[in-house]
Structures are given as C-alpha cells and as structure tokens.
Amino acid sequence: MSISTKALSGSGRRNPILPYLLVLPTFIIVLVFTAWPTITSLYMSFFRQYLNIAKFRHPTFIGLRNYKELLTDSTFHQVLLNTLIYVVGTVPASIILAFLFALLVNRAVKGIGLARLSFFYPTILPMVSAATIWMFFFTPDYGLFNSVLRTLGYRGPQNWTGNPHLALLAVMIVAVWKNAGYLMIFYLAGLQSLPPDVFEAADIDGAGWWRKLWAITFPLLRRTTLFVSTIAIIDAFQVIDHIFVLTQGGPSGASTVLLYYLWQVRFEDQNVGLASALTIVLIVIMLSITVANFLLTEREGE
C-alpha cells in the first residue's frame, strides 16, 4: 500500500525545469532577433560610419551627435509629420471598418462565408501585389478614381501618386483596404465569444440595437480593441512595401514615413550611425505609444 502511494505521489510530482524549457525557444528567438539587434543599434548610434566613404568606413565615436542631427534636420521633421498623419489616418479607419465588417458577417445566413472571404481576401495578398493592383486605380489617364471623377463632372485627371497633396493619401487608402479585413478576424472572434445570455436579458429589458451595442458590446470587446489597436499601430509604423511601388517616398518626400526614411539612410546613404539612431527613435516611439495605449485602455476599463 505504501509503495503504490509513493509511486502515485512520485508520478504526480511536477518537473520544476519544464516551464523554463517550454519558454526557452521563444526566449532565444526574442534574444537573437529582437534584444541583440536593439542593443547593437543603440551601441552603433553613438558612432559615425559611412560604408560608401573610405575615410569614414570604420566606426568613430561621436556621442549623441547622430541624435542631435536628427533633432535639427528639417527632413526628419517632415518624415515624423508624415508618419503621424499616416498613423492617425489609417489606424482609426482600419479599426472602425474592421468592426463594421465583423458586425456585418457575424450572423448565420446563407452565403455569409463568401462575404467573410471577400472582406478577408485583401489580407491574403502580399502588400506589393496589392499596391500593384491599386496602381490601376490611381493611374492619371484611365484610372478608376479619375474615371469616377469625370463621371461626376470633375474636369482634369488627378495624379494621385505624383501630387504632393495626394501621394500620402493614396498610400493610406491602400493600407486601410489591406488591413481592415485582417483586423476584422479578431473582432469577429470577439463577437462570437460574447455571452448570449447578456443580450437576451437586454432584449427582455427592451434595449434597442444601438443601446446593446454601446452598453454591452463595446465594453465587452475592450480587450479585443486593445489588442487590435496595438497591432494596428505597430503595423502602421512598419509600412514600407507599397511605398516602394506607389510613390517611392515622393514626390519631394511627401509620402516618406519613418521606416522608409530609415531604409534610405541605411541602404542609399549607407550611413550606419544615423540609421542606428533612427532605429532607436522608431523603437522608442512604438514602445511609448503601445504602453500609453495599454494604460489608457486599462484606465477606461476601470
């Protein structure tokens, strides 16, 4: 009897090393591909190094001079403004459209699977392919947008990707079209996990559609909104693919955002030190916005 009890207790004993072994692969990936590059970029941001100039090919310590150059550079200021406009313009629009799409397809009717696929389909396309498709819409002579404007009586075609006042807007339209279906999936999963008895009780109390949406659905989807907004903000700061296809940052830098400018400094100018400083600035901005978004959402939830 004592032997069997001892065997049972031994078999039920947990291995204290097992949890650490389970998280070890993820820890190694984060360390190698996130932590170490960040530390390296922080270190190199204090040096001057041009790979295309023999005199400055070897790193030279210059302290905070790269950051000072960024703070006094008008081009960097314009890039920050473009990035801010891009984030403010695409993130709320993508989230609102994603939520509306989720409400539309969150019902058990015939053909709803096809509707969900149509909303989600842009997400499947690579961003370069999506931008290539949209080049047809933005074409000045026979593009769909200008054809609609001519139908409405507006004379003169618009050069959507060549106009400094429209280039960033064109990039934003493609991003919203591409990302709304992806964010819809998270809202759809959140809607389908809501407790039905709460809505049944609201129906009994005579609550209307808008009242249930505002007083029940929105609060219960707060965690989902936090997650969706976080990944939407991070994705907005990582935009670069369709800028290559649509505008290449032009005209005159009107559609150059932070990550594209980082690519230009690193691979066109081959300025390693300044590119490293830009990397740190980008990380700090993304981290600050993410933390602020999390704290604000938690405070609203309380």
Give the start-end residues of each E strand in 109-236. none
Per-residue confidence (pLDDT) for residue 62, from 0 to 100: 93
Percent share of the chain, pLDDT over 70 = 93
pLDDT tens digit sequence for 73-128: 999 999 999 999 999 999 999 999 999 999 988 877 777 888 888 888 888 888 88
- pTM for this structure? 0.86
Is residue 45 in a domain? Answer: no
For residue 48, which of 289, 269, 290 has the smallest C-alpha distance?
Answer: 269
Number of domains forming the structure of the chain: 1
Is residue 113 in a domain? Answer: yes
pLDDT at position 29 over 90: yes
Is residue 231 in a domain? Answer: yes
Per-residue confidence (pLDDT) for residue 13, from 0 to 100: 64
Is residue 122 in a domain? Answer: yes
pLDDT tens digit sequence for 259-289: 999 999 999 999 999 999 999 999 999 889 8
Is residue 6 in a domain? Answer: no
Round to whole Å and give the CA distance between 222 and 213: 12
H/E element holding 48? Answer: strand 47-48
Q: At 125, which CATH number?
A: 1.10.3720.10
Is residue 127 in a domain? Answer: yes
Round to whole Å and give the CA distance between 278 and 66: 9
Is residue 294 in a domain? Answer: yes
Per-residue confidence (pLDDT) for residue 200, from 0 to 100: 83
Domain residues for 150? 52-301
Question: What band does 69 get if pLDDT is binned at 50, 70 and 90?
Answer: very high
pLDDT at position 182 over 60: yes
Round to whole Å and give the CA distance between 82 and 77: 9
pLDDT at position 7 over 60: no
Is residue 1 in a domain? Answer: no
CA atoms within 13 A on the CB side of 170: 37
Given a contact cutoff of 8 angstroms between Cβ atoms, the answer to whether 138 and 160 are in contact is yes
pLDDT at position 12 over 60: no
